[in-house]
Structure 1
Amino acid sequence: MPTDKPTKKATSKKDAKPKADKVLLAATDLAHQAAVDIAEPGTVGEHVGAVMLGDRLAMHYFECTSPGYVGWHWAISVARAPRQKYATVCETNLLPTDAAVLSPDWVPYVERLAPGDIGAGDERPYVEDDPYLEPGFEATGEEDVDQVGLFELGLGRPRVLSAEGRDAAAQRWYDGDGGPHSDVAQQAKAHCSTCGFFVPMPGALRQVFGVCAGEWSPSDGKVVSLDHGCGAHSETHAPATAPETVDAPVLDELALDFS
Protein backbone atom coordinates (compact mmCIF):
# COMPACT_ATOMS: atom_id res chain seq x y z
CA MET A 1 0.00 0.00 0.00
CA PRO A 2 1.34 3.50 -0.79
CA THR A 3 2.18 5.68 2.15
CA ASP A 4 2.54 9.42 2.56
CA LYS A 5 5.35 9.08 5.11
CA PRO A 6 8.67 10.41 3.80
CA THR A 7 11.30 7.77 3.32
CA LYS A 8 14.90 8.29 4.42
CA LYS A 9 17.31 8.68 1.55
CA ALA A 10 19.86 5.91 1.50
CA THR A 11 23.36 7.13 2.24
CA SER A 12 26.20 5.31 0.55
CA LYS A 13 29.38 4.50 2.43
CA LYS A 14 31.26 6.77 0.01
CA ASP A 15 29.15 9.80 1.04
CA ALA A 16 29.17 8.98 4.76
CA LYS A 17 31.39 11.13 6.95
CA PRO A 18 34.17 9.12 8.62
CA LYS A 19 33.54 8.44 12.27
CA ALA A 20 35.81 10.30 14.68
CA ASP A 21 38.49 8.08 16.13
CA LYS A 22 39.71 9.23 19.57
CA VAL A 23 42.86 7.12 19.41
CA LEU A 24 43.97 8.58 16.07
CA LEU A 25 42.98 12.19 16.78
CA ALA A 26 44.88 12.03 20.06
CA ALA A 27 48.09 10.75 18.40
CA THR A 28 49.55 14.26 18.14
CA ASP A 29 52.89 13.41 19.74
CA LEU A 30 53.36 10.38 17.50
CA ALA A 31 52.66 12.45 14.37
CA HIS A 32 54.90 15.29 15.59
CA GLN A 33 57.83 12.95 16.10
CA ALA A 34 57.31 11.47 12.63
CA ALA A 35 57.45 14.98 11.13
CA VAL A 36 60.60 15.84 13.11
CA ASP A 37 62.28 12.67 11.84
CA ILE A 38 61.95 13.68 8.18
CA ALA A 39 62.18 17.47 8.40
CA GLU A 40 65.18 19.76 8.61
CA PRO A 41 65.96 20.69 12.21
CA GLY A 42 63.70 23.42 13.56
CA THR A 43 61.20 23.42 10.65
CA VAL A 44 58.28 21.64 12.36
CA GLY A 45 55.99 24.22 13.96
CA GLU A 46 52.78 24.10 15.93
CA HIS A 47 50.05 21.53 15.47
CA VAL A 48 47.35 23.17 13.35
CA GLY A 49 44.71 20.44 13.31
CA ALA A 50 43.72 16.90 12.51
CA VAL A 51 41.01 15.44 10.25
CA MET A 52 39.56 12.01 9.62
CA LEU A 53 40.30 10.76 6.11
CA GLY A 54 38.44 7.49 6.46
CA ASP A 55 37.60 4.73 8.86
CA ARG A 56 40.54 4.39 11.27
CA LEU A 57 42.61 6.80 9.16
CA ALA A 58 43.46 10.38 10.19
CA MET A 59 45.82 13.18 9.12
CA HIS A 60 47.68 15.52 11.50
CA TYR A 61 48.98 18.88 10.23
CA PHE A 62 51.91 20.88 11.58
CA GLU A 63 53.11 24.28 10.45
CA CYS A 64 56.27 24.28 8.31
CA THR A 65 58.57 27.06 9.50
CA SER A 66 61.15 26.75 6.72
CA PRO A 67 61.61 30.13 4.94
CA GLY A 68 61.41 28.39 1.58
CA TYR A 69 58.00 26.82 2.29
CA VAL A 70 55.81 29.64 3.52
CA GLY A 71 52.20 28.45 3.81
CA TRP A 72 53.08 24.73 3.70
CA HIS A 73 52.16 22.10 6.30
CA TRP A 74 53.75 18.87 7.39
CA ALA A 75 51.02 16.26 6.90
CA ILE A 76 51.34 13.00 8.85
CA SER A 77 48.75 10.27 8.35
CA VAL A 78 48.13 7.78 11.15
CA ALA A 79 45.97 4.65 11.25
CA ARG A 80 45.10 1.66 13.39
CA ALA A 81 43.81 -1.82 12.72
CA PRO A 82 40.38 -2.94 13.97
CA ARG A 83 40.37 -3.35 17.77
CA GLN A 84 43.93 -1.98 17.88
CA LYS A 85 44.30 0.44 20.78
CA TYR A 86 47.25 2.44 19.47
CA ALA A 87 48.05 4.43 16.28
CA THR A 88 50.81 3.86 13.76
CA VAL A 89 52.30 6.23 11.20
CA CYS A 90 51.31 5.61 7.58
CA GLU A 91 52.77 8.43 5.48
CA THR A 92 54.63 11.71 5.91
CA ASN A 93 54.15 14.57 3.43
CA LEU A 94 54.78 18.25 2.95
CA LEU A 95 51.61 19.75 1.46
CA PRO A 96 50.72 23.30 0.35
CA THR A 97 47.82 25.28 1.75
CA ASP A 98 45.86 27.99 -0.06
CA ALA A 99 48.42 30.52 1.21
CA ALA A 100 51.43 28.54 0.01
CA VAL A 101 54.07 30.00 -2.28
CA LEU A 102 54.06 27.73 -5.34
CA SER A 103 56.18 27.62 -8.44
CA PRO A 104 54.45 28.77 -11.64
CA ASP A 105 52.85 26.21 -13.92
CA TRP A 106 55.36 24.47 -16.15
CA VAL A 107 55.45 25.87 -19.67
CA PRO A 108 57.16 23.99 -22.54
CA TYR A 109 60.49 25.45 -23.67
CA VAL A 110 59.18 26.40 -27.11
CA GLU A 111 56.37 28.43 -25.51
CA ARG A 112 58.70 30.17 -23.02
CA LEU A 113 60.91 31.58 -25.76
CA ALA A 114 60.35 35.21 -26.64
CA PRO A 115 61.61 37.16 -29.66
CA GLY A 116 65.25 38.03 -29.09
CA ASP A 117 65.97 35.08 -26.77
CA ILE A 118 67.88 33.06 -29.37
CA GLY A 119 71.60 33.69 -29.04
CA ALA A 120 74.77 32.18 -30.49
CA GLY A 121 74.57 28.39 -30.37
CA ASP A 122 70.89 28.35 -29.35
CA GLU A 123 68.26 26.53 -31.39
CA ARG A 124 64.50 27.02 -31.53
CA PRO A 125 62.58 23.73 -31.16
CA TYR A 126 60.78 22.49 -34.25
CA VAL A 127 57.09 23.47 -34.29
CA GLU A 128 55.19 21.08 -36.54
CA ASP A 129 51.91 23.00 -36.63
CA ASP A 130 53.30 26.53 -36.74
CA PRO A 131 50.45 28.77 -37.99
CA TYR A 132 53.03 31.15 -39.47
CA LEU A 133 54.28 28.49 -41.91
CA GLU A 134 52.82 26.36 -44.68
CA PRO A 135 54.25 23.66 -46.99
CA GLY A 136 56.62 24.81 -49.71
CA PHE A 137 56.22 24.08 -53.44
CA GLU A 138 57.73 21.25 -55.43
CA ALA A 139 59.19 21.60 -58.88
CA THR A 140 56.71 21.20 -61.75
CA GLY A 141 59.23 20.69 -64.57
CA GLU A 142 58.06 23.83 -66.36
CA GLU A 143 60.91 26.33 -66.39
CA ASP A 144 58.80 29.51 -66.25
CA VAL A 145 56.61 28.22 -63.43
CA ASP A 146 59.56 26.90 -61.45
CA GLN A 147 61.42 30.21 -61.79
CA VAL A 148 58.47 31.98 -60.18
CA GLY A 149 58.35 29.33 -57.49
CA LEU A 150 62.08 29.56 -56.86
CA PHE A 151 62.24 33.32 -56.38
CA GLU A 152 58.74 34.13 -55.16
CA LEU A 153 57.18 31.08 -53.53
CA GLY A 154 60.13 29.39 -51.87
CA LEU A 155 60.72 26.38 -54.08
CA GLY A 156 63.07 23.91 -52.42
CA ARG A 157 62.22 24.77 -48.81
CA PRO A 158 60.06 22.36 -46.76
CA ARG A 159 57.94 25.23 -45.42
CA VAL A 160 57.37 28.88 -46.27
CA LEU A 161 55.50 31.77 -44.68
CA SER A 162 51.75 31.40 -44.53
CA ALA A 163 49.43 34.36 -45.07
CA GLU A 164 49.05 34.64 -41.28
CA GLY A 165 52.81 34.59 -40.76
CA ARG A 166 53.34 37.21 -43.47
CA ASP A 167 50.69 39.51 -41.99
CA ALA A 168 52.15 39.15 -38.49
CA ALA A 169 55.66 39.99 -39.72
CA ALA A 170 54.42 42.96 -41.74
CA GLN A 171 52.55 44.40 -38.78
CA ARG A 172 55.53 43.88 -36.47
CA TRP A 173 57.92 45.59 -38.89
CA TYR A 174 55.53 48.45 -39.61
CA ASP A 175 55.06 49.15 -35.90
CA GLY A 176 58.79 48.87 -35.20
CA ASP A 177 61.84 51.07 -35.73
CA GLY A 178 61.69 50.58 -39.50
CA GLY A 179 58.14 51.91 -39.80
CA PRO A 180 56.76 55.44 -40.18
CA HIS A 181 56.20 56.04 -36.46
CA SER A 182 59.80 55.90 -35.20
CA ASP A 183 61.52 59.09 -34.05
CA VAL A 184 63.91 59.00 -37.02
CA ALA A 185 61.06 58.69 -39.53
CA GLN A 186 59.01 61.45 -37.90
CA GLN A 187 61.84 63.95 -38.36
CA ALA A 188 62.82 62.86 -41.87
CA LYS A 189 62.14 65.23 -44.77
CA ALA A 190 61.56 62.46 -47.35
CA HIS A 191 60.36 58.85 -47.45
CA CYS A 192 62.30 55.72 -48.36
CA SER A 193 60.06 55.23 -51.40
CA THR A 194 61.97 58.02 -53.19
CA CYS A 195 65.45 57.07 -51.89
CA GLY A 196 68.05 55.58 -54.21
CA PHE A 197 69.37 53.40 -51.40
CA PHE A 198 65.98 51.66 -51.00
CA VAL A 199 65.99 48.07 -52.30
CA PRO A 200 62.40 46.78 -52.82
CA MET A 201 61.56 43.45 -51.23
CA PRO A 202 60.47 40.65 -53.60
CA GLY A 203 57.15 38.89 -53.27
CA ALA A 204 53.94 40.05 -51.67
CA LEU A 205 55.72 42.30 -49.17
CA ARG A 206 57.18 44.39 -51.99
CA GLN A 207 54.18 46.73 -51.86
CA VAL A 208 55.08 47.94 -48.37
CA PHE A 209 58.68 47.03 -47.50
CA GLY A 210 62.23 46.99 -48.69
CA VAL A 211 65.77 46.93 -47.34
CA CYS A 212 67.89 50.00 -46.68
CA ALA A 213 71.27 49.97 -48.41
CA GLY A 214 72.42 53.40 -47.22
CA GLU A 215 75.78 53.19 -45.49
CA TRP A 216 75.15 56.39 -43.52
CA SER A 217 71.61 55.49 -42.55
CA PRO A 218 70.78 54.13 -39.06
CA SER A 219 68.59 51.59 -40.90
CA ASP A 220 71.38 50.23 -43.11
CA GLY A 221 70.77 46.51 -43.80
CA LYS A 222 67.35 46.55 -42.11
CA VAL A 223 63.78 46.19 -43.32
CA VAL A 224 62.06 49.57 -43.72
CA SER A 225 58.63 50.59 -44.93
CA LEU A 226 58.04 52.76 -47.96
CA ASP A 227 56.92 55.62 -45.71
CA HIS A 228 59.91 55.32 -43.38
CA GLY A 229 62.67 57.87 -43.69
CA CYS A 230 65.89 59.24 -42.25
CA GLY A 231 68.41 61.99 -42.73
CA ALA A 232 70.56 59.91 -45.09
CA HIS A 233 68.04 60.07 -47.98
CA SER A 234 69.82 60.03 -51.32
CA GLU A 235 68.00 63.15 -52.58
CA THR A 236 68.18 65.40 -49.56
CA HIS A 237 70.75 68.18 -49.53
CA ALA A 238 71.75 70.14 -46.48
CA PRO A 239 72.77 73.67 -47.49
CA ALA A 240 76.47 74.29 -47.11
CA THR A 241 77.42 76.97 -44.62
CA ALA A 242 80.35 79.29 -45.03
CA PRO A 243 83.02 79.11 -42.36
CA GLU A 244 82.68 81.81 -39.72
CA THR A 245 85.47 84.36 -39.33
CA VAL A 246 86.36 85.56 -35.88
CA ASP A 247 88.32 88.73 -35.23
CA ALA A 248 91.08 87.86 -32.81
CA PRO A 249 94.05 89.86 -31.56
CA VAL A 250 97.39 89.26 -33.26
CA LEU A 251 100.09 88.10 -30.93
CA ASP A 252 103.68 88.91 -31.82
CA GLU A 253 105.69 86.30 -30.04
CA LEU A 254 109.00 87.53 -31.54
CA ALA A 255 108.84 91.04 -30.14
CA LEU A 256 111.15 91.84 -27.21
CA ASP A 257 110.12 93.93 -24.28
CA PHE A 258 113.09 96.06 -23.01
CA SER A 259 111.19 97.94 -20.39
Structure 2
Amino acid sequence: MTSTRDIEDRLDESRELALAALHEVTPASSIGEFAGHEASDDGVTLLRFETTLLGYPGWFWTVALASVPGSAPTVLELELLPGDGALLAPDWVPWSQRLEEFKAQQALAAQEAAEGDDADDDEDDDLEGDDDADEAGEYLHAGDVDGVDIDEFDDEADDEEE
Protein backbone atom coordinates (compact mmCIF):
# COMPACT_ATOMS: atom_id res chain seq x y z
CA MET A 1 0.00 0.00 0.00
CA THR A 2 1.28 3.45 -0.97
CA SER A 3 1.42 6.02 1.82
CA THR A 4 0.24 9.61 1.49
CA ARG A 5 3.82 10.76 2.05
CA ASP A 6 5.06 8.68 -0.92
CA ILE A 7 2.39 10.19 -3.16
CA GLU A 8 3.32 13.72 -2.02
CA ASP A 9 7.02 13.02 -2.64
CA ARG A 10 6.29 11.72 -6.14
CA LEU A 11 4.08 14.73 -6.83
CA ASP A 12 6.86 17.09 -5.70
CA GLU A 13 9.36 15.30 -7.99
CA SER A 14 6.86 15.43 -10.84
CA ARG A 15 6.26 19.13 -10.25
CA GLU A 16 10.01 19.81 -10.41
CA LEU A 17 10.31 17.81 -13.65
CA ALA A 18 7.32 19.63 -15.16
CA LEU A 19 8.77 23.04 -14.24
CA ALA A 20 12.15 22.10 -15.72
CA ALA A 21 10.42 21.12 -18.98
CA LEU A 22 8.43 24.37 -19.04
CA HIS A 23 11.58 26.44 -18.43
CA GLU A 24 13.01 24.96 -21.65
CA VAL A 25 10.20 26.43 -23.77
CA THR A 26 8.98 29.53 -21.93
CA PRO A 27 10.44 32.14 -19.57
CA ALA A 28 9.96 31.47 -15.86
CA SER A 29 8.04 34.76 -15.64
CA SER A 30 5.23 33.27 -17.77
CA ILE A 31 4.64 30.38 -15.35
CA GLY A 32 2.33 31.02 -12.43
CA GLU A 33 1.32 29.02 -9.40
CA PHE A 34 0.76 25.26 -9.40
CA ALA A 35 -2.93 24.74 -10.20
CA GLY A 36 -3.36 21.03 -9.58
CA HIS A 37 -2.86 17.64 -11.14
CA GLU A 38 -4.87 14.82 -12.60
CA ALA A 39 -3.64 11.21 -12.56
CA SER A 40 -5.02 8.48 -14.80
CA ASP A 41 -4.89 4.70 -14.44
CA ASP A 42 -2.51 4.32 -17.40
CA GLY A 43 0.35 6.09 -15.59
CA VAL A 44 -0.09 9.52 -17.18
CA THR A 45 -0.27 12.51 -14.87
CA LEU A 46 -1.26 16.00 -16.02
CA LEU A 47 0.19 18.85 -14.00
CA ARG A 48 -1.25 22.34 -14.47
CA PHE A 49 0.34 25.70 -13.77
CA GLU A 50 -1.34 29.08 -14.16
CA THR A 51 0.02 31.25 -16.95
CA THR A 52 0.95 34.89 -16.52
CA LEU A 53 1.06 35.58 -20.26
CA LEU A 54 -0.90 38.67 -21.27
CA GLY A 55 -3.88 37.79 -23.41
CA TYR A 56 -4.31 34.34 -21.85
CA PRO A 57 -6.47 34.82 -18.76
CA GLY A 58 -7.77 31.51 -17.49
CA TRP A 59 -5.24 29.42 -19.44
CA PHE A 60 -2.88 26.84 -17.95
CA TRP A 61 0.49 25.39 -18.81
CA THR A 62 -0.22 21.66 -18.86
CA VAL A 63 2.56 19.07 -18.68
CA ALA A 64 1.84 15.38 -19.29
CA LEU A 65 4.18 13.00 -17.46
CA ALA A 66 4.39 9.23 -17.92
CA SER A 67 5.16 7.13 -14.86
CA VAL A 68 6.17 3.51 -15.36
CA PRO A 69 6.88 1.37 -12.29
CA GLY A 70 10.60 0.96 -11.76
CA SER A 71 11.68 3.99 -13.82
CA ALA A 72 11.79 7.76 -13.48
CA PRO A 73 8.86 9.86 -14.81
CA THR A 74 9.17 11.11 -18.39
CA VAL A 75 7.75 14.24 -20.00
CA LEU A 76 5.32 13.29 -22.76
CA GLU A 77 4.19 16.75 -23.83
CA LEU A 78 3.51 20.23 -22.62
CA GLU A 79 1.05 22.76 -23.92
CA LEU A 80 -0.97 25.83 -23.11
CA LEU A 81 -4.62 24.85 -22.62
CA PRO A 82 -7.70 26.96 -21.80
CA GLY A 83 -9.41 26.54 -18.47
CA ASP A 84 -13.13 26.77 -17.79
CA GLY A 85 -14.51 30.01 -19.18
CA ALA A 86 -11.24 31.07 -20.86
CA LEU A 87 -12.77 30.96 -24.33
CA LEU A 88 -15.97 32.81 -23.46
CA ALA A 89 -16.45 36.26 -24.92
CA PRO A 90 -16.71 39.11 -22.43
CA ASP A 91 -20.12 40.59 -21.67
CA TRP A 92 -21.52 42.70 -24.49
CA VAL A 93 -21.15 46.44 -24.02
CA PRO A 94 -23.36 48.83 -26.04
CA TRP A 95 -21.61 50.91 -28.69
CA SER A 96 -22.54 54.20 -27.03
CA GLN A 97 -20.79 53.14 -23.80
CA ARG A 98 -17.70 51.87 -25.67
CA LEU A 99 -17.57 55.14 -27.62
CA GLU A 100 -17.71 57.20 -24.43
CA GLU A 101 -14.92 55.09 -22.90
CA PHE A 102 -12.87 55.54 -26.09
CA LYS A 103 -13.39 59.31 -26.04
CA ALA A 104 -12.37 59.48 -22.38
CA GLN A 105 -9.20 57.48 -23.11
CA GLN A 106 -8.37 59.76 -26.07
CA ALA A 107 -8.90 62.88 -23.97
CA LEU A 108 -6.65 61.48 -21.23
CA ALA A 109 -3.97 60.58 -23.79
CA ALA A 110 -4.16 64.07 -25.31
CA GLN A 111 -3.88 65.65 -21.86
CA GLU A 112 -0.84 63.49 -21.00
CA ALA A 113 0.74 64.34 -24.36
CA ALA A 114 0.14 68.05 -23.78
CA GLU A 115 1.71 67.85 -20.34
CA GLY A 116 4.65 65.96 -21.85
CA ASP A 117 4.99 68.57 -24.63
CA ASP A 118 5.13 71.37 -22.05
CA ALA A 119 8.03 69.60 -20.34
CA ASP A 120 9.71 68.93 -23.70
CA ASP A 121 9.34 72.61 -24.75
CA ASP A 122 11.27 73.69 -21.67
CA GLU A 123 14.06 71.29 -22.59
CA ASP A 124 14.01 72.28 -26.30
CA ASP A 125 14.68 75.93 -25.44
CA ASP A 126 18.15 74.90 -24.34
CA LEU A 127 18.92 72.95 -27.54
CA GLU A 128 20.23 74.28 -30.83
CA GLY A 129 18.94 73.11 -34.20
CA ASP A 130 15.21 73.40 -33.53
CA ASP A 131 14.81 74.50 -37.14
CA ASP A 132 15.36 70.88 -38.23
CA ALA A 133 12.00 69.90 -36.79
CA ASP A 134 10.29 72.67 -38.78
CA GLU A 135 12.07 71.60 -41.97
CA ALA A 136 10.97 68.00 -41.46
CA GLY A 137 7.36 69.23 -41.52
CA GLU A 138 7.91 70.48 -45.07
CA TYR A 139 8.84 67.00 -46.24
CA LEU A 140 6.50 64.89 -44.14
CA HIS A 141 2.87 65.77 -44.53
CA ALA A 142 -0.38 63.90 -45.05
CA GLY A 143 0.49 63.24 -48.71
CA ASP A 144 3.58 61.19 -47.84
CA VAL A 145 3.34 57.43 -47.61
CA ASP A 146 6.53 55.69 -46.49
CA GLY A 147 8.62 58.61 -47.72
CA VAL A 148 6.95 58.74 -51.15
CA ASP A 149 5.19 61.98 -51.98
CA ILE A 150 1.91 60.73 -53.42
CA ASP A 151 1.03 64.26 -54.53
CA GLU A 152 3.55 63.95 -57.36
CA PHE A 153 1.30 61.30 -58.90
CA ASP A 154 -1.83 63.44 -58.61
CA ASP A 155 -2.46 65.58 -61.72
CA GLU A 156 -5.01 67.76 -59.87
CA ALA A 157 -2.41 68.70 -57.26
CA ASP A 158 -0.07 69.89 -60.05
CA ASP A 159 -2.85 72.05 -61.49
CA GLU A 160 -3.49 73.66 -58.10
CA GLU A 161 0.21 74.46 -57.60
CA GLU A 162 0.42 76.23 -60.99
Relative to the length of structure 1, the TM-score reads 0.29
TM-score (norm 2): 0.45
Bigger RCO of structures 1 and 2 (CA < 8 A, at least 6 apart)? 2
